[in-house]
Amino acid sequence: MTETRFDVGMTCEGCASAVKRILGKIDGVTDIETNVAAKTVVVTHADGVSASEMLEMLKKWSQASGKSVALAS
């Protein structure tokens, strides 16, 4: 399993729920931890799941919601 971190401009639990729902649809994602205060998301997933795939799905939500999304360094 691999962990990938994202910086997501979440402002409430509704944002966190949306992020979990979106990422949870990806086969191979096993756990999603959101922290609204720190604006971070940690995704645990199979090695076959790419960070770019997850980022693209989050960017679609970002455009609709106006929230920022980036792969954490």
CATH code for the domain in which residue 11 is found? 3.30.70.100
Mean pLDDT, range 67-71, rounded to an integer: 95
pLDDT in the model for residue 56: 95
- Total structural domains within the chain: 1
Tokens 């090695």 correspond to 47
Distance (Å, rounded) from C-alpha 42 to C-alpha 35?
9
pLDDT at 73 over 90: no
Alpha helices in the chain, H assignment, sequence order: 13-24, 51-65
pLDDT in the model for residue 38: 97
- Residue 34's nearest CA partner among 21, 48, 19 is 19
pLDDT tens for 4-60 read: 999 999 999 999 999 999 999 999 999 999 999 999 999 999 999 999 999 999 999
pLDDT in the model for residue 39: 97
> Could you list the residue range(s) of the whole structural domain that residue 66 is in?
2-71
Give the global pTM.
0.92
User: Is residue 46 a contact partner of residue 2, using CB atoms and an 8 Å limit?
Assistant: yes
